[in-house]
């Protein structure tokens, strides 16, 4: 059973081999010249490697400066984004003076909601069926969408007999707006 390894013996054996004991008749000068060449090449590769590291580090810092300039552009806030012309038309109708314009604004907003729901992949014959297929966790303003759609249905079924006040019209348009903002359409 081996209990100890004599490391000194193995290093001495390696030293003797490098000094020429392993090669029989080879002279020490050949091995010394070979060793000098290996050392010289090692230094040359080390210096070349150092230049490569310095060069790539400099280029990396230049790249980071260019990235900082490129990515430091200011992104406009959400409130300053371009508003859809369709939504602008609905708002202008809602700010009108008479109930007929308010009715038209609510009907147009409901049509816009129908188009958005269709684009989002909700299926159904109308807005009501599409709203039924939405999970409350998917749309936090789902109740606003229902309330606004109910007002639209009253307008559609009762026509001019439905007494639409200015405050109800603005509340309904505000509900549509909250839904559209959640969908990031306006």
Question: What number is the average pLDDT over the span 3-16?
Answer: 81
The tokens of 137 are what?
Answer: 């966790």
In this predicted model, which residue has the larger pLDDT, 20 or 96?
96
Q: What percent of the chain has pLDDT over 90?
A: 59
In this predicted model, which residue has the larger pLDDT, 104 or 84?
104
In this predicted model, which residue has the larger pLDDT, 20 or 158?
158
Q: What is the pLDDT of residue 186?
A: 85
Look up the CATH number of the domain holding residue 154.
Answer: 1.20.120
In this predicted model, which residue has the larger pLDDT, 25 or 4?
4
Residue 150 lies in a domain: yes
165 and 100 part of one domain: yes
Q: What is the pLDDT of residue 150?
A: 96
Please tell me the total count of domains within the chain: 2
Residue-wise pLDDT tens digits, 46-83? 999 999 999 999 999 999 999 888 877 666 555 545 56
65 and 83 part of one domain: no
> How far is residue 30's CA from residue 20's CA, in Å, rounded to a whole number?
9
Look at the alpha carbons of 164, 169, 171, 173 in this order and tell me if their dihedral is positive or negative: positive
Q: What is the pLDDT of residue 80?
A: 47
> How far is residue 108's CA from residue 140's CA, in Å, rounded to a whole number?
22
> How far is residue 124's CA from residue 129's CA, in Å, rounded to a whole number?
5
47 and 108 part of one domain: no
Range of the domain at 61: 7-71
40 and 104 part of one domain: no
174 and 117 part of one domain: yes
Residue-wise pLDDT tens digits, 13-36? 777 776 666 655 455 566 667 778
Residue 1 lies in a domain: no
**Residue where a domain terminates, one of 71, 89, 119:** 71
Rg of the Cα atoms in the chain: 40
**Conformation bin of residue 112: beta by default, left when phi > 0, alpha when psi is -120 to 50:** alpha
The tokens of 1 are what?
Answer: 């059973």
158 and 93 part of one domain: yes
């Amino acid at each position: 059973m081996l209990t100890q390894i004599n490391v000194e013996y193995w290093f001495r054996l390696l030293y003797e081999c490098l000094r020429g004991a392993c090669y029989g008749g080879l002279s020490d000068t050949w091995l010394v010249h070979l060793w000098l060449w290996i050392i010289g090449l090692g230094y040359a590769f080390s210096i070349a490697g150092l230049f490569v590291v310095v060069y790539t580090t400099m280029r990396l810092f230049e790249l980071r400066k260019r990235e900082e300039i490129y990515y430091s552009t200011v992104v406009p806030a959400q409130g300053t984004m371009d508003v859809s012309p369709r939504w602008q038309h609905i708002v202008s109708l809602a700010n009108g003076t008479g109930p007929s314009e308010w009715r038209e604004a609510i009907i147009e907003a409901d049509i816009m909601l129908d188009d958005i729901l269709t684009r989002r992949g909700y299926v159904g014959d109308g807005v009501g069926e599409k709203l039924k297929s939405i999970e409350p966790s998917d749309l936090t303003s789902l109740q606003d969408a229902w309330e606004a759609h109910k007002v639209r249905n009253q307008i559609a079924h009762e026509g001019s007999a439905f007494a639409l006040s200015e405050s109800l019209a603005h509340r309904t348009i505000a509900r549509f707006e909250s839904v559209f903002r959640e969908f990031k359409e306006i």
